[in-house]
Chain A
Amino acid sequence: MFNFRKPKNELELILKQGKKNTPTIPDEMFTSCPGCSASILSEELIESLNVCLKCGHHFKISARQRLNALADAGSFDELFGDMESENLLGFPEYEKKLHNAKLATAENEAVICGTCEIGGNPTAVFIMEGDFMMGSMGTVVGEKITRLFEHALKMRLPVVGYTISGGARMQEGILSLMQMAKTSGAVMRHGNAGLLYIAVLTNPTTGGVTASFAMEGDMVIAEPGALICFAGPRVIAQTTRQKLPPGFQTAEFLLEKGFIDAIVPRKEHKNTIAKLLYMHRGASE
């Protein structure tokens, strides 16, 4: 769809000109860290993959920035990149929200899929984009992830998947819910062939994504401090009127309860994932 209206603000204008990899942190010189209130030079923050140099607080990072940090230079081949969502149920305002999400992220949907090498190890990869309608899973997100696992099965590749999601996308109703079953089926088929799937859970991973492919990895890794849950803390506080324990539903909490394998700081992701892929290289033969 074409849109000839004048950009509302500068960000829209920049995005309209197709500038990708725009950092998600504000364009000011300094960024204040919510973890330790330190002022950090924004440039330094970008260099440190949006992790506070003083306290290690993990800021939001775009899917493209992650991909650039993870994949060996020049190794990434995007798959299914031109798939776009349609308003299948005729849900009010959905087209507008999709349009704004595309402007805000310069992506076509809430997940980027492809193949790449990580430390020289060939792998299939998907990375969800949290700024695209809160990383919600509609039919296109479900289809892209399903296709990626099917492609990885055919090519005998492992899968590395980054999740960030508000859950299933309400605007696609029951069709979104069914993507949980569909993606789970594809993960199982890939796994049954003896292939490795590493899930990396980032802040926040919730709802239908937690209750499907996020929790189905052979190894499940999380970023420090990430909120990982099925029902969100606000919903639980409202429903049960109970006071939530400190640190409830953080990565650290899930590690203690036995639901994730490890917490790995962002800067160590590439190294850790490369090692895991290397240790499982026999699985792809």
Chain B
Amino acid sequence: MKAIEYVYAARHKNRPTGMAYIRNIFTDFIELHGDRRFGDDRAIVGGIAMFCDMPVTVIAIEKGTDTKERVSRNFGSVHPEGYRKALRLMKQAEKFKRPVICFIDTAGAFCGIGAEERGQGQAIAENLGSMMELRVPIISILIGEGGSGGALALGVANSVWMLEKAVYSVISPEGCASILFKDPQKAEIAAENLKLTARDLFGLGVIERIIPEKNTESVFNIIKKQLKAELERLIAKSGDELREERYNKFRGIGC
């Protein structure tokens, strides 16, 4: 498969979205709404659920499954209040000492007047810094599109995993092609060069694990199994150790 084919697969409308993962991996999910500042961003679903007899905080970017829902979820493009809701739930998780599991699937943080007025940049920045400091385990899983800062705002985790056909990139191949090559038709070349597939990112040390995609059922089962093992490893660590591990993971990327 070419890189651009992974991009199309990651965006495919029949691909399971955030809620499907919450429903199939956890039990007793109770959704918690709102950022307590401005509103409730439906592009982010968050709440508490049970996993292996343990309460966990689950946060997912949800694109929606039919046209009506997609519109109400803003196609999974998050506003600042969505990131602030996510952060509120993460701090709540820290207070009650439960792990945080994030599912990422977004073309990017929303570009619009309201999003800028309410500080999209500031909201993402605050999430990056605060996630780095969180004293409970964080696991982030890229299930579809990982669009730039809008994806990273839920991606500062102890472990970052990617589905085999998910992509994670600093910019969309189309955006990159139109800026650098002055031709959006060159998205295929851009996709190849951006190194955005799970295999590329594993090779670059940005992600820890690739979840193979045989079929939807097997994906849920593999995530369940891996999540159980990884949470056991992380729960044994102190808050300081978790922070140290997270800092060192990102500290080592680059040069």
Chain A interface (Cβ < 8 Å from any Cβ of B): 83, 86, 89-92, 139-140, 142-143, 146, 168-182, 184-189, 192, 207-208, 210-216, 228-231, 235-236, 239-240, 242, 244-245, 248-249, 257, 259
Contact = CB atoms under 8 A, between A and B. Distances in A.
Contacts of B149: 168, 177, 180, 207-208, 211, 230
B129 A184 contact: yes
B48 interface: no
B116 A89 contact: no
Nearest to A92: B193
A23 to B, nearest CB: 28
A250 to B, nearest CB: 11
B251 to A, nearest CB: 6
B170 A174 contact: yes
B195 A173 contact: yes
26 contacts: A89-B193, A139-B253, A168-B149, A170-B176, A173-B193, A173-B195, A174-B201, A175-B253, A175-B254, A181-B132, A184-B128, A184-B156, A185-B156, A185-B250, A187-B129, A188-B130, A211-B120, A214-B125, A229-B121, A231-B115, A236-B111, A239-B111, A240-B113, A242-B113, A257-B118, A259-B119
A174 B206 contact: yes
Interface size band for B = 35 or more
Nearest to B156: A181
Interface in B127-161: 128-130, 132-133, 148-149, 152-153, 155-156
Interface string B161-186: 00000001111000010011000000
B125 A216 contact: yes
A236 B253 contact: no
A185 B251 contact: yes
A182 B113 contact: no
B113 A230 contact: no
Given A170-B176, A230-B115, 18 more contacts: A89-B195, A92-B193, A170-B179, A175-B206, A178-B254, A179-B254, A182-B254, A184-B128, A185-B247, A188-B133, A208-B170, A210-B121, A210-B122, A211-B125, A213-B125, A231-B116, A236-B112, A257-B118
Contact of A230 (B120, B179, B206): B120
A174 B132 contact: no
Nearest to A184: B128
A168 B152 CA distance: 13
Contacts of A91: 193
B109 interface: yes
A245 B114 CA distance: 11
A137 to B, nearest CB: 10
A199 B112 CA distance: 25
A139 B117 contact: no
A139 B111 contact: no
B189 to A, nearest CB: 8
Contacts of B247: 185, 189
A177 B170 contact: yes
B44 interface: no
B9 interface: no
B194 interface: yes
A117 to B, nearest CB: 28
B196 interface: yes
